[in-house]
Chains A and B, each alone.
Chain A
Amino acid sequence: MAVYKKTYRPYDGELTSSWTRFLVIPRFAFEGMRKSRFLTIFFLASFIYPLIAALFIYVKHNASALNLLGVGNANTLISINTTFFLNFLGWQSMLALFLAAFTGPGQVSPDLANNALSLYLARPFSRVEYVLGKMWILMVLMSLMTWIPGLLLFLLEAYLQEGWSWMRDNSSLAWGMFFGSWVWILILALMALALSAWVKWKPAAGALMFGVFFVAAGFGVAVNGVQRTKWGHLFNISALIGSVWVQLFGADPSVNNGGVFFRMPVGEELPPWCCWTALATLCLICLYMLARKIRGAEVVR
């Protein structure tokens, strides 16, 4: 029917699958994000480090390139090992934190600011699907920044090493990259949504995101200083995630204490189970915050 025929008619056409309906949200969110020039440039800039890392891997295995550059023995200086991948993950994860702080608050707060949640949830669409849809866009973008380029670098190194043996011997790097990234991505996505659900003003929610990471870490250091303990690091999310990565990468804690920006201070390491528990608690708090706020109607008791 032509749009100018101003009449109402019922809809009796086909419907989309209810399982994939939550993907409508990230599609619309992505369209909105594409309009931001800053975010587009930031996202593209986040691939500079992976490109440089790929170049390093290529040059290390290319004697003629090294000779051309006049650094024939440089391949002994470049080591593609656990430290290389941990630092790659650390750098990219810090960029992911910035991306989450810039884009995360824009996901939920506009819906809450103008009561649009009741419209979402009045449809055959659940709160879980809503949160999953909102997380999806963050998870996709952060995956493109962390584990996907990380695994591509791993495969490039494996290819240039000319053998399955290196891949097999270093499979913990790939698993560590994949699972370590996902732990970080889930924490960031949940925190970004939870904070934006509670702080409806986008800039404040973004600032709070940084606050949780940096101010809480400072608080942890203060606790350590006053109490002469190391348990204050439980407030330091970056140190906690660094410890988890060390475990997932199968690295030797005496040699590697995390990636760049994500290191537990030497000699103050916490048991891995404590780090996992602290991060799991953080996720549960975020889920609780989301469960309280993501509702079709506020309940005034």
Chain B
Amino acid sequence: MDPVIELDGLEVRFGDRTILKKLKATLTGRSIGLLGPNGAGKSTLINTLLGFHKPTSGTARIFGRDIRTHAREVRSLLGFMPENDAYIASMSGVHFVRLMAELAGLPPEHALERAHEAFFYVGLGEVRYRNLGTYSLGMKQAAKLAQAIAHGPKLLFLDEPTNGLDPPARLRMIQLIQEIRDRGDLRLILSSHLLRDVEECCDEVLILKDGNIAAFCNLEEERRANRRFLEVETRGGVNGAFVEAMEKLGCEAATGAQGRIKLVLPDELEVRQLYQVASDQNIQIRRLNHKRDSLEDIFLKAMEAADGRL
């Protein structure tokens, strides 16, 4: 797949502080999650890609276009839903989205048509003539999404899209993002503190810590790689013997507390053979989970790395 974003030694400094430290990565996913604790540099990275901050050294390319030399062209491909409130309170929703679409280069009649469509799409069709200042938080989030997609961008930056939303509104927002992702017309960059949001919407994730890339992984591949990862809870017998027997069958095994054993089965081994071995060793299997590294595990491992680099 063609790279969406290439980070090529990207460094951003504000005064003496280095916010992004020579980032190098090639992001190719349809939907890329951006994770990291507060101050990790997520928003600075998005703002730099949008051209709000100038890189101190290095550069980045979006769809092959350099953000230093082709900033205007790059921005014509982007849609941006910022984290904070961003609207003009005295404007009606549809008027505001039309303005933003026109600024992106759409002729007035197309901009008006697409503003209406975008409002219906995000579920605000009935309130599109109301002033934005009167919208609830959830409606403002949806209006921000409408302005981000109205001009038909190729890449959509979503900065904390579920911020402050109640559960039904969050669910609706996640569904919208998944729907946009699944259509395949545009790529997504989703920055969020909520691991669950990223897990539900993204197929690739970049984790930042202290301005470094702490982890970069393809969630789809992780899911596939961990499909034969089992967590077993046992009672009775001797665990050591059971583990030895499983290792003889080609499993990787690690013993935990209270009879817990983590196993990675080789491709040819069936799970029922595990029950057979347990029976032979006179061990009861009380619980068996198909465990995989969740995004939380990946995130926590990345955060444990002392220098912010895995």
Contacts and interface: CB of A to CB of B under 8 A. Distances in A.
Contact of B51 (A3, A5, A25, A296): A296
Given A11-B151, A21-B105, A299 B53 contact: yes
- Which of under 10, 10 to 19, 20 to 34, or 35 or more describes the interface residues of A? 35 or more
Interface stretch (B96-104, B224-232, B254-262, B295-303): B96-104
A119 B186 contact: no
Given A8-B185, A32-B90, A114-B88, A123 B75 contact: yes
Contact of A16 (B107, B149, B152): B107
Contacts of B73: 124
Interface in A270-301: 295-297, 299-301
B87 interface: yes
A116 interface: yes
B106 A122 contact: no
Given A4-B120, A13-B110, A124 B105 contact: yes
Interface string A83-118: 000000000000000000000000000110111101
Contacts of A121: 50-52
Interface in A1-38: 1, 3-16, 18, 21, 24-25, 28, 32
Contacts of A166: none
A120 interface: yes
A126 interface: yes
B220 interface: no
A122 B75 contact: yes
Nearest to A106: B90
Interface string B15-33: 1010000000000000000
A5 B125 CA distance: 11
B104 A124 contact: yes
Looking at A6, A115, A124, A295, which has the most chain B CB atoms within 10 Å of its CB? A124
A36 to B, nearest CB: 11
A3 B157 CA distance: 24
A123 B180 contact: no
Interface in B149-192: 149, 151-152, 154, 157, 179-180, 183, 185-186
B216 interface: no
B159 to A, nearest CB: 10
B102 A16 contact: yes
A11 B106 contact: yes
B125 to A, nearest CB: 7
B52 A9 contact: no
Contacts of B100: 119-120, 123
A125 interface: yes
B90 to A, nearest CB: 6
Interface in B78-111: 78-80, 82, 84-91, 95, 99-100, 102-107, 110
Given A1-B117, A116-B86, 12 more contacts: A3-B125, A6-B120, A15-B105, A25-B103, A111-B88, A114-B86, A116-B88, A118-B86, A122-B78, A124-B76, A126-B72, A299-B14
24 contacts: A3-B125, A4-B125, A8-B179, A8-B180, A8-B183, A10-B154, A11-B106, A13-B110, A15-B107, A21-B105, A25-B103, A28-B99, A118-B52, A119-B82, A119-B86, A122-B50, A122-B52, A122-B75, A123-B103, A123-B104, A125-B75, A125-B104, A126-B72, A297-B52
Q: Which 7 A-B pairs have the closest CB atoms?
A: A11-B152, A296-B52, A122-B80, A15-B105, A301-B15, A124-B76, A297-B52
